[in-house]
Amino acid sequence: MSPRGRRRASRKEVTEAAPPEGAVRLQKLLARAGVSSRRGGEALITAGRVMVNGQVVTELGIRVDPSKDEVAVDGRVIQRQAPVYLVMNKPDGVVCSAETTVDERGRPTVVSLIRGIDERVYPVGRLDFHTRGVLLLTNDGDLAARLTHPRHKVPKTYHAKFQGQLQPEDLQALSMGVTLEDGTRTRPLAEISVIKDTQTNTWAQLTLTQGLYRQVRRMGDAIGHPVLKLIRVSFAGVTADGLPEGDWRLLRDDEVARLRGLAAAPSSM
């Protein structure tokens, strides 16, 4: 809730107070400061929880000057954090949430596994509760938003254990795209190959450039072969090789540069 006695600032008042050179959108500043993602910043603004120079701001699109304007969330002035980028080998039974300990259902969060850094980070996208493997976390909300936006087609590779033995027609269907239960058509896969199969199940490697909710599991349901286990082995070329489950490491400079390059690449859509 906004503090009593504080009047709301109009877009005109804020933009006139902040010079246009160097000014950025308020939600972008919140993301850069590690407060939230851009979308989360928009929710904070419209809820009246953000103040600029002592005035509550509720309009989206307002621009501020990070070097001069004072921005506060819930009455607390934010300080821009140094950017942090890390990869975790997410274990089973941990939820992808920005909560620092447990979520609203009492389940441990990935952020609760982070120790040794002062900056607040949050997941780039999500992995299901029971899905393991590569998870990126950062306080760079701008990069996170770009990496998860479908127009950039950032590749993500999974190892999936399908129930039953996949036939060539099943692999072809997955490769070309399937229709999910809600009528959504998936994009063609960048890659699919069989790792190992038995009479009872098939392990396959899939590379997606799409990020629908529970996509791989829903694709398995669509072809009649439910996914029994799911591991993400790569996100945009970043792996968790050598990391025990639950551990994390900072990204190398070349990995960060590659992520920024993918996020800046023009869409082919």
Three-class DSSP category at 53: coil
What is the per-residue pLDDT for 40? 85
Asked if the model's pLDDT at residue 209 lies above 90, the reply is: yes
Asked if the model's pLDDT at residue 268 lies above 60, the reply is: no
Query: End-to-end CA distance of the chain, in Å?
Result: 41
d(CA 186, CA 174): 9
What is the per-residue pLDDT for 202? 98
Residue (of 99, 93, 128) closest to 111 by Cα position? 99
Residue (of 15, 40, 35) closest to 25 by Cα position? 15
What is the per-residue pLDDT for 61? 85
Which superfamily is assigned to 8-77 in CATH? RNA-binding S4 domain (3.10.290.10)
Four-residue CA torsion sign, 122, 126, 129, 134: negative
Query: Is it true that 85-151+238-264 and 155-235 share their CATH fold?
Result: yes
Whether domain 155-235 has CATH 3.30.70.1560: the reply is: yes
Residue 189, CA distances (Å) to 89, 154, 171, 208, 250 in order: 24, 12, 10, 5, 29
Asked if the model's pLDDT at residue 5 lies above 70, the reply is: no
Token output for 105 = 């259902």
Amino acid residing at 255: E
Higher pLDDT: 1 or 250? It is: 250
- The pTM (predicted TM-score) of the whole model is 0.76
Overall fold of domain 85-151+238-264? Alpha-Beta Plaits (3.30.70)
Amino acid residing at 123: P
Four-residue CA torsion sign, 34, 40, 41, 45: negative
128 is catalytic: yes
Residue appearing with tokens 């890659």: 191
Asked if the model's pLDDT at residue 13 lies above 60, the reply is: no
Are the C-beta atoms of 238 and 251 separated by less than 8 Å?
A: yes
The confidence band for 9, taking pLDDT boundaries of 50, 70 and 90, is low
Asked if the model's pLDDT at residue 239 lies above 70, the reply is: yes
For residue 86, give every residue at least 6 positions away whose Cβ sits within 8 Å of its Cβ, in sequence order, or none: 114, 117, 121, 136, 137, 138, 248, 249, 250, 251
User: What 8-state DSSP symbol labels residue 227?
Assistant: E
Residue (of 94, 107, 132) closest to 229 by Cα position? 132
What is the per-residue pLDDT for 2? 42
d(CA 46, CA 58): 5
What is the per-residue pLDDT for 215? 97
What is the per-residue pLDDT for 266? 67
- Determine the average pLDDT of the residues in 93-104: 88
* Domain extents in the chain: 8-77, 85-151+238-264, 155-235
Q: What is the Cα 180 distance to its own chain's centre?
A: 22
Q: Which of 65, 69, 118, 128 is the catalytic position?
A: 128
Q: What is the pLDDT of residues 152-185, one digit of tens each?
A: 999 999 999 999 999 999 999 999 999 999 999 9
Are the C-beta atoms of 84 and 138 separated by less than 8 Å?
A: yes
Asked if the model's pLDDT at residue 20 lies above 50, the reply is: no
- Determine the average pLDDT of the residues in 121-139: 94
Phi–psi pair at 120, nearest 5 degrees: -90, 125
Amino acid residing at 113: L
